Homo-oligomer: A and B are copies of this chain.
């Protein structure tokens, strides 16, 4: 009784009371605005208007903070349903949406990885994964292959965002915009004296947007998965 009726105060000294979840949400939203390297206990505390020490009342340490942020990140992913009868189109839309989701917090995956945070802790994530596996089963994949295809799908999208979109969306300081939107990227410019005929010809093509590159990756993924159905 008393433990239920006596509620935690919702405010303290003019600002909202911190909770484990509010701290994690703040960390996640911080990642939407700044690079992962800028997320420190001190900078987050400053943004919340408390001392760094205060955060340790809600998370165990920096690794735990990132764990909470990753969980909230997963809970915010609400994909559309997948209809097995038109799975190709639906899977394409599903992946486009997942890409947009990852892209909202660039570096989240890499950060969790570098901090040894294991993903898929949130029930919503498990439900989404289960549904994706279900579609692959329905189109005729054996259960094990359906699981593999699910992992491959998520890994492809996450890899595309981390390796392709993240550097594109948050250019490293000291590179001008023209270089960044070029395709092939400047690092594929052929050095003098090298005989690299294909790269040379690609350099002469119109630059390509990440979006059309992503569509090609989707073509490969979807056709590749379809080929596993026997």
Where the two chains meet, the residues of A that have a C-beta atom closer than 8 Å to any C-beta of B are: 36-37, 107, 109-111, 113-114, 116, 118-121, 123, 126-127, 129-130, 133-134, 137, 143-149, 151-152, 155-156, 158-160, 162-164, 166-167, 172-173, 184-188, 190-191, 194, 196-199, 201-202, 205, 208, 213, 216-217, 219-228
A152-B220, A220-B224 in contact; A205/B116 too (CB < 8 A)?
A: no
Quick one: which of B205, B217, B220, B226 contacts A144, CB cutoff 8 A? B205
When C-beta atoms are compared, the residue in chain B nearest to A146 turns out to be B198
- Among B120, B166, B186, B198, the residue within 8 A (CB) of A133 is B198
B-side contacts of A186, CB under 8 Å? 118
A191 touches B126 (CB 8 A): yes
- Contacts beyond the supplied A113-B162, A120-B187, A219-B227: 19 A-B pairs with Cβ under 8 Å: A107-B114, A113-B167, A118-B172, A118-B186, A123-B191, A126-B188, A126-B190, A126-B196, A126-B199, A133-B199, A134-B197, A147-B202, A149-B220, A152-B220, A155-B164, A156-B156, A158-B163, A220-B221, A223-B228
Of the listed residues A130, A146, A197, the one surrounded by the most CB atoms of chain B closer than 10 A to its CB is A130
**Minimum C-beta distance from A211 to chain B (A):** 12
When chains A and B are docked, how far (Å) is the Cα of A222 from the Cα of B227?
10
* A109 and chain B: residue at smallest CB distance: B163
Residues of B near A162 (CB, < 8 A) are 113, 159
The secondary-structure label for the interface of chain A is helix
Which residues from chain B contact A167 at a C-beta distance below 8 Å?
Answer: 113, 116, 118
Q: Which of B37, B201, B227 is the one whose CB lies under 8 Å from A114?
A: B37
Contacts of A111 in B (CB 8 A): 114
